[in-house]
Structure 1
Amino acid sequence: MTKLRNRITGPTAMAALAGVVAAAVVLAVAELIGAFFTARATPLFALGSTFIDFTPPKLKDFAVATFGTNDKAALFVGMGLTIAILACVLGVVAYRKWALGVLGVLFMGAVIVACVVTRAGVSAVDAIPSVLGTIAGLVVLRVLMASVWRLKEPKPWPEAPADQAADDDARRQGAGTSRRGFFTAAGITAVAAGVAATGGRLLGAARNNVAKAREALSLPAPAKAAAAVPAGVQSPVPGVTPWLTPNNDFYRIDTALSVPEINVDDWELRVHGLVEQEVTLRFKDLLDAQLIESHVTLTCVSNPVGGNLAGNAKWLGLPIREVLARARPKDGADMVLSTSIDGFSASTPLEVLQDGRDAMLAIGMNGEPLPLEHGYPVRMVVPGLYGFVSATKWVVDLEVTRFADNKAYWTNRGWSERGPIKTMARVEVPKSFAKVPAGKVAVGGTAWAQTRGIAKVEIQIDNGDWVETTLSTEASTVTWRQWSYEWDATPGPHYIKVRATDGTGEVQTDKRADPVPDGASGWQSVMVTVQ
């Protein structure tokens, strides 16, 4: 027990702890000072965003498949553990050779600064919080390390003289006092760092009134209201997803580690590139325009077979075809590269934005201004395409161009240029591995094939025949459609498969494909046990 205590409270372990405390100070000071700069100037945001930018598609797909909409929380946990481990190593290095420790800290500071200044919409001035945080961390590391250096234990004497033994006892008592002083200082510094980080976050929130401005924003009535939702769109099976997805439940998959907060008075959209005339829109221009309203189902390309990364909402916005009509695209243009304020970009086929579908610059979602995390103040909504090529949030730039000349964010990372949504059906009730009683069992779920509609959904029990289910009412071809089936279940394990046929008569393929590069495909199979 004594040996274990000595290892835990020994100089090396204390040096590692000093490194962790110093790293906490770096982040806390940068967070506090960053409250007076752009949100993208803080180290955690910059490091995390840079990591996301360089994440290989397969790793990104694994993160979404494993953690779903909690992928960013998982990233923060992983970053925290990584930073703690590196800080421990730097602390030990600094204890053994201070100059190397300083170089290590300065190198990490340089990496953070590089991550900050390379973010979209960030200037060199925004590196100040990281620079000052690094300096503060070095000072704290030096102060704590000075205490650790005084803790070197005297070597034991086999038969020490009385005066030497007394001297050693005094030194050991002094070392014990120094240990207590070190842990006290480290604890107080860590608490102070936590308070500073929390204060910085609260101060930043207090200085930014975007959330309050959003709550006070009144949306105009649409010139063309959404078609009335017909009766019977909801599946009668209890537990099936609501036909209209509440804003709080709508999936969120994007590359923004920190949600951009944009003042509507500062927002503008530039339309340029291969156009006869550049167009600039302000938010007031959208409020004064002839807006349309439409129910549209959106789907993420990362959605696995049977996954829940899809949602249906009522959107309010300006048709993009009208904006493009003002700009007048030149011959040869075939793509619009949309860019978010955080640097994300998407490649959308030009013809899709000019045809009759309700592709829009949306400002409203389910009767209220867009939630901040869903693109406030303006985002794109394009029926029939996966979000990675169409649903740009916090959009600030539309460049009319060619696929041959420009690549979007995910296209540069191995995903396809165009992303038409594939026909998909899923079983929502009963859940996989559920146990249900024998007899009549209600089975239900949802299917989608945006712009084509759903004509039929079939179910197969084990290896039996495919049987048509009962379709709920179809609201439109750009929204999902629900289904239900009454199954006469017999005891034992059973597999339930489902497939859809779209409005063109094409049956959902059974060929399995991963989400990369253009969306998952295959039939979902759910195993249940009938008791």
Structure 2
Amino acid sequence: MAAPSTPHTAHPPRPDDGPRDHLPWWSVLAGIVSGIVLLAVSGALSLVFSSSSSPLVAVGSAFVDIVPGSLKDLVIGLFGTRDKLVLGISMLVVYAVLTGAAGLLGARRPVLGALILVALGAFAGITVGARAQNTAADLIPTLLGTAVAVPSLLALLRVARASPARVTTAPPSAPPRRAVILGSGVLAAILAVGAQTVAGSREMARRAAQFVLPSPAHRARRIPEDAQIDLAGMPPYLTPNDDFYRIDTALAVPRVDPTSWQLRIGGMVDHELTLDLGQLLAEPMTETHVTLTCVSNTVGGDLAGNATWLGVPVRRLLERAGVQDGADMVLSRSIDGFTASTPLEALTDDRDALIAVGMNGNPLPPEHGYPVRMVVPGLYGYVSATKWLTEMMVTRFADDTAYWTSRGWSDRGPIKTASRIDVPRARARLERDGEGAVVLGGTAWAQHRGITGVQVRIDDGAWKDARLGAEVSTDTWTQWALRWPDAEPGEHTATVRAIDSTGEVQTAEQADPAPNGASGWHSVDFTVT
């Protein structure tokens, strides 16, 4: 008879067996939380210093500086004015991977995890210090943020390694203590970062709200009612401030103190000028309507906007400074270090090139350059529309290059004649009216030349002249409409082209935005029902 089998008895679990089974994931979370702590602390302190003292802003700005122009155009083409949001999310994902790795490696060797976090803080500090507008004091937020984050990581790693049996007496249905601690850390840090963003935005909005615009000495021409084409889906003739496109190199809107702001005009001048905001506002102001366009705008794109601007003519201040012979360019500089090279003739001829303080009857919004920016009709923004303006240096193209021209873009940037179809949108369905017709509409611009004609072609038919809205000035866009009688049901393609005041017909040649602006005819596929 066989001996009865002896039941197998498992070895009693060691106290650390349970936590070690799941330790890496808790440690990864500990690393991410400590990384958020670094951002939260440094971000809060950056409110006392400058927006560029935030490590996230500094690193992102450095990335924007080195990114190739082709990649910049690709991102803007895909995401438009949400490009900064995409960059921010991408940076946070990479940062989460790196800080998570610090926690993972620190699970067994806490000192190694701490050293990785210190290295991330050191890299951020170097980037902050390398920003042209920053001083040594701007390193303080990153240093203190790192100093708080490292012990936070070590403490959270101890929580992650602790046995549930030792750290909680809660009933089995309750969440483990380390989950509560780490989860609370994530929530608190995220809320802190969000609160800083809101606080910074509110502070800039408060300053702008206290800004009182002077009355213009020269008012803009009244906009005729028929400048706006009465057609559902058409954009407003004046673009609201909140809808105006924003493309610039500032990852975070610079916080400019209007009480200490100054504009310096120097270089090849007889008399260097320095004006504070009060002195600038005391100058006679000119109000004018100007359409701005970004060089990154693709054919048919929406990176164009029309607004009423208030400011001081640039030519007046340049005359006062006394431009010396041989100068042919003005290098303008933003508070965040961005520079633009503007042809001198565009600032001294009869166009309304302004040092602007107002937009559509209100102070400049912070994201559009508060308190002072440049507006120059006829030139793409990358060579003219410097926001958060602090300096204008009269110089020569042969001697100086600007931010984007040093990266391969053309140095003068005149805006090309362009047009787009706003109605219908791509793949839209148009219903015929009682007479069997449909109406198309859109916008055309050729700043400082003006639009004299717009032509539309349906499928492969003949070009038809569109009806133009009233022209307000040669520096603004013109709206157009075309009624297509006896529209045939089915799928169709509409193509548009514009004619400027020189008689030049918009070119059909397709060109990418780099290096001097996109070109080509805009076409839209639609269906008539």
Do these two structures clear the TM 0.5 threshold for a shared fold by scoring above it? yes
Conservation of the 8 A alpha-carbon contact between 2:19 and 2:161: no
Separation of aligned partners in 2, 1:21 and 1:97: 18
Q: CA deviation at 1:211?
A: 2.8
Q: CA deviation at 1:177?
A: 7.5
Separation of aligned partners in 2, 1:465 and 1:250: 35
Equivalent residue pairs, number:
504
Separation of aligned partners in 1, 2:251 and 2:189: 22
Q: In the alignment, what sits opposite 1:463?
A: 460
Q: In the alignment, what sits opposite 1:513?
A: 511
Q: In the alignment, what sits opposite 1:72?
A: 84
Cα deviation 1:185-204 (Å, max 9, x = unaligned):
21232233234434545665
Q: In the alignment, what sits opposite 2:502?
A: 504
- Is 2:109 the counterpart of 1:97? yes
Conservation of the 8 A alpha-carbon contact between 2:19 and 2:162: no
Separation of aligned partners in 2, 1:453 and 1:62: 30
Separation of aligned partners in 1, 2:184 and 2:480: 60
- Where does 1:21-100 land on structure 2 (aligned, <5 Å)? 21-100=33-112
Counterpart AA for 1:192: A
- Is 2:248 the counterpart of 1:254? yes
RMSD of aligned C-alpha atoms? 2.1
Separation of aligned partners in 2, 1:214 and 1:349: 30
Counterpart AA for 2:333: T
Q: In the alignment, what sits opposite 1:169?
A: none
- Segments of 5+ residues of structure 2 without an aligned counterpart are 1-17
Q: CA deviation at 1:175?
A: 8.8
- Where does 1:312-391 land on structure 2 (aligned, <5 Å)? 312-391=306-385
Q: In the alignment, what sits opposite 1:162?
A: none
Counterpart AA for 2:412: R
SS at match of 1:484: strand
Conservation of the 8 A alpha-carbon contact between 1:252 and 1:373: yes
Separation of aligned partners in 2, 1:81 and 1:149: 25
Q: Which deviates more, 319-328 or 114-123? A: 114-123
- Is 2:144 the counterpart of 1:132? yes
Distance 1:201 1:460, change over 3 A: closer
SS at match of 1:33: helix
Separation of aligned partners in 2, 1:339 and 1:430: 40
SS at match of 2:517: coil
Distance 1:41 1:280, change over 3 A: same
Separation of aligned partners in 1, 2:19 and 2:327: 68
Q: In the alignment, what sits opposite 1:118?
A: 130
Counterpart AA for 1:467: K
Cα deviation 1:501-522 (Å, max 9, x = unaligned):
1100001000001111111100
Q: In the alignment, what sits opposite 1:214?
A: 208
Distance 1:8 1:72, change over 3 A: farther
Separation of aligned partners in 2, 1:38 and 1:268: 17
Separation of aligned partners in 2, 1:341 and 1:259: 10
Separation of aligned partners in 2, 1:231 and 1:503: 22
Separation of aligned partners in 1, 2:153 and 2:35: 9
Counterpart AA for 2:114: V
SS at match of 2:34: helix
Separation of aligned partners in 1, 2:215 and 2:462: 50
Distance 1:200 1:502, change over 3 A: closer
From 398, 409, 415, give the equivalent of 1:421: 415
Separation of aligned partners in 2, 1:471 and 1:144: 67
- Where does 1:115-514 land on structure 2 (aligned, <5 Å)? 115-150=127-162, 173=165, 180-201=176-197, 208=203, 210-438=204-432, 439-488=436-485, 489-514=487-512
- Is 2:15 the counterpart of 1:17? no
Separation of aligned partners in 1, 2:241 and 2:370: 13
Q: In the alignment, what sits opposite 1:157?
A: none
SS at match of 1:289: coil
Cα deviation 1:128-161 (Å, max 9, x = unaligned):
111111122111111122244456xxxxxxxxxx
Cα deviation 1:268-322 (Å, max 9, x = unaligned):
1101111111111121122211211111111111111001111111111111011
SS at match of 1:479: coil
Q: CA deviation at 1:232?
A: 1.3
Q: Which deviates more, 55-64 or 193-202? A: 193-202
SS at match of 1:515: coil
Distance 1:363 1:203, change over 3 A: closer
Distance 1:332 1:221, change over 3 A: same
- Segments of 5+ residues of structure 1 without an aligned counterpart are 1-5, 152-171
Cα deviation 1:397-446 (Å, max 9, x = unaligned):
00111111111111122211110000001000011101123431110001
Counterpart AA for 1:502: D
SS at match of 1:128: helix
Q: Which deviates more, 309-318 or 73-82? A: 73-82
Distance 1:204 1:221, change over 3 A: closer
Q: Which deviates more, 389-398 or 189-198? A: 189-198
Separation of aligned partners in 2, 1:41 and 1:350: 34
Cα deviation 1:214-253 (Å, max 9, x = unaligned):
2233222211111222341111322111111111111111
Separation of aligned partners in 1, 2:379 and 2:288: 16
Q: In the alignment, what sits opposite 1:155?
A: none
Superposition TM-score, scaled by structure 2 size: 0.91
Q: CA deviation at 1:472?
A: 1.2
Conservation of the 8 A alpha-carbon contact between 1:421 and 1:449: yes
SS at match of 1:232: helix
Q: In the alignment, what sits opposite 2:9?
A: none
Cα deviation 1:334-374 (Å, max 9, x = unaligned):
11000000111100001111111000101111112111111
